[in-house]
């Protein structure tokens, strides 16, 4: 929770919408939905910790930077900067990765974790061609990250910029006075307890908050100036919090040009070939093998150096673009999309492959759930992992899981993503959802929570 109460670099309207959402949140329902998603295999601790990127056949690692950014995983944000750092570092180290593409569609997020991630992006860009593509939105903290790439591209309507940081202090002293409440803060240190609800926000408090925001924002400006090759004073002029659309961002030097995703991807493939990244790796491996065999390193290295690189294959007839596949395969993740792009699939081939992929994933998750329940039943742990709810047989529990999974599959068949399908079934078939939760969360505390919620 503490990551939400710091300094933010995000579009203000997105921040206000997030605050409004939290204020209206039914925390109990939110926790239950999380339990349902986890039980259905939508998210696991292992999948959170895996450094993920999609690799094209040409050796370009595609790393998506989506939605609100927070340092750690959060149900109120889409992307963890810690996991992004893992992905960038993994792509940087991987021998089969010749270039890296950050695909950004984000309004920004918390400042925590951004500077470290930006440093990793800068380091990776110094070793391999690394570009950023802003797909619709690259603002605040997300632009901070983009600015560290070798080149930054965007689509024509992308919102770019919003350079600046902010924090919010609510002065609730007037409201407390109306309610007849007097809040006392017992402190050691003039600024300890600053912002405690019901206390007055003084000019000194505002000045201290401004000092913190300015100090953090200085790192933002320095990063943009260094990454984009702009004078620090020029960046300060641009740092008024505004966003700029497409071509205007090019004129201001915030991005390098307007391109489509496929054009950016093609440019990176060319850059990778030109930099000789894969050739250098292959040369090193070949030399090592030759040395181990007979010590004749020079001849092998010369042969590897003079060998002509293989030309990239042309797309087959009817091969779909990245955006064609994304539009046709609703809910597909970046890894799947890139795999179809690399296979030069047509739209119909990609759609068929996505249907098969969803079925395989659901079957794998169902199998994992069954294994987890079996392990839980034999563990002998009573507090949190005891058997099924009283009066519910193993057969009934299994039937609830199977019926819920089947209902989710049916919703997904109509075009919903897995998470959207789970929510839809939970709302339209409450009895089945309850049975599913009881079957997959057998502990006394969890079951009591489920029963109270459905009373």
Q: What is the C-alpha to C-alpha distance for residues 225 and 213, in angstroms, rounded to an integer?
A: 18
Q: Are 21 and 68 in contact (CB under 8 A)?
A: no
- Which one is predicted more confidently, 133 or 376? 133
User: CATH: 3.90.226.10, 1.10.260.40, 3.40.50.300, 3.10.620.30. Which one for 2-28+43-171+204-267?
Assistant: 3.90.226.10
Q: Distances from the Cα of 405 to the Cαs of 123, 334, 389, 393, 398, in angstroms?
A: 44, 24, 20, 18, 11
- Which one is predicted more confidently, 368 or 272? 272
Q: What is the C-alpha to C-alpha distance for residues 447 and 386, in angstroms, rounded to an integer?
A: 11
Q: What is the pLDDT of residues 130-168, one digit of tens each?
A: 999 999 899 999 999 999 999 999 999 999 988 887 777
Q: What is the pLDDT of residues 395-439, one digit of tens each?
A: 555 577 788 888 888 887 777 766 667 767 877 888 888 887 777
Mean of all residue pLDDT scores within the chain: 74
pLDDT given at position 2: 54
Residue 25 binned pLDDT confidence (cut-offs 50, 70, 90): low
What is the sign of the dihedral through the CA atoms of 337, 339, 344 and 346? negative
Backbone angles phi, psi at 143, to 5 degrees: -70, -35
- Give the residue among 173, 166, 100, 107 at the shortest CA–CA distance from 140: 107
Please state, for a pLDDT cut of 70, what percent of the chain lies above it.
62
pLDDT given at position 382: 43
CB atoms within 10 A of CB 351: 18
Q: What is the pLDDT of residues 201-252, one digit of tens each?
A: 778 877 877 888 888 888 899 999 989 988 989 999 998 888 999 899 999 9
* pLDDT, mean of residues 326-351: 73
**Structure tokens, 228:** 């984009």
Q: What is the C-alpha to C-alpha distance for residues 337 and 324, in angstroms, rounded to an integer?
A: 10
**Structure tokens, 121:** 């992006």
Outline where 229-260 has alpha helix (H): 232-238, 247-251
Please state, for a pLDDT cut of 90, what percent of the chain lies above it.
22
């Amino acid at each position: 929770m503490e990551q939400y109460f710091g300094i933010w670099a995000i579009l203000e309207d997105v921040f206000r919408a997030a605050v409004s959402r939290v204020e209206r949140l039914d925390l109990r329902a939110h926790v239950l939905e999380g339990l349902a998603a986890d039980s259905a295999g939508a998210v696991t601790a292992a999948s959170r910790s895996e450094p993920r990127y999609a690799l094209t056949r040409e050796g370009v690692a595609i790393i998506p930077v989506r939605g609100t950014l927070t340092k750690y995983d959060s149900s109120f944000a889409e992307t963890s900067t810690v996991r992004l750092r893992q992905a960038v570092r993994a792509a940087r180290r991987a021998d089969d990765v010749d270039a890296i593409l950050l695909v950004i569609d984000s309004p920004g997020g918390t400042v925590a974790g951004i500077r470290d991630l930006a440093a990793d992006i800068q380091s990776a860009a110094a070793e391999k061609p690394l570009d950023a593509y802003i797909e619709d939105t690259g603002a605040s903290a997300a632009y901070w990250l983009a600015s560290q790439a070798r080149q930054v591209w965007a689509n024509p309507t992308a919102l770019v910029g919003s350079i600046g940081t902010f924090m919010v202090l609510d002065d609730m002293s007037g409201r407390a006075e109306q309610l007849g409440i007097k809040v006392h803060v017992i402190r050691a240190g003039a600024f300890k307890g600053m912002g405690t609800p019901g206390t007055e926000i003084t000019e000194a408090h505002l000045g201290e908050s401004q000092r913190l925001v300015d100090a953090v924002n200085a790192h933002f400006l320095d990063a943009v100036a260094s990454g984009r090759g702009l004078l620090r004073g020029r960046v300060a002029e641009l740092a008024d919090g505004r966003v700029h659309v497409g071509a205007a961002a090019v004129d201001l030097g915030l991005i390098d040009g307007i391109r489509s995703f496929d054009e950016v991807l093609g440019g990176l493939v060319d850059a990778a070939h030109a930099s000789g990244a894969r050739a250098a790796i292959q040369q090193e491996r070949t030399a090592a093998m030759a040395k181990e065999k007979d010590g004749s390193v020079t001849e092998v290295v010369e042969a590897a150096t003079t060998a002509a690189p293989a030309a990239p294959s042309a797309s087959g007839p009817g091969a779909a673009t990245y955006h064609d596949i994304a539009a046709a395969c609703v809910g597909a993740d970046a890894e799947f999309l890139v795999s179809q792009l690399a296979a030069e699939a047509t739209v119909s081939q990609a759609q068929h492959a996505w249907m098969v992929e969803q079925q395989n994933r659901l079957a794998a998750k169902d199998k994992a759930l069954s294994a987890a329940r079996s392990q839980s039943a034999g563990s002998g742990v009573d507090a949190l992992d005891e058997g099924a709810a009283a009066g519910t047989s193993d057969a009934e529990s299994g039937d609830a899981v199977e019926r819920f999974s089947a209902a989710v599959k049916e919703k997904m068949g109509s075009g919903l993503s897995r998470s959207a399908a789970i929510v839809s079934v939970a709302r339209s078939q409450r009895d089945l959802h309850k049975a599913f939760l009881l079957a997959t969360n057998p502990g006394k505390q969890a079951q009591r929570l489920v029963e109270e919620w459905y009373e």
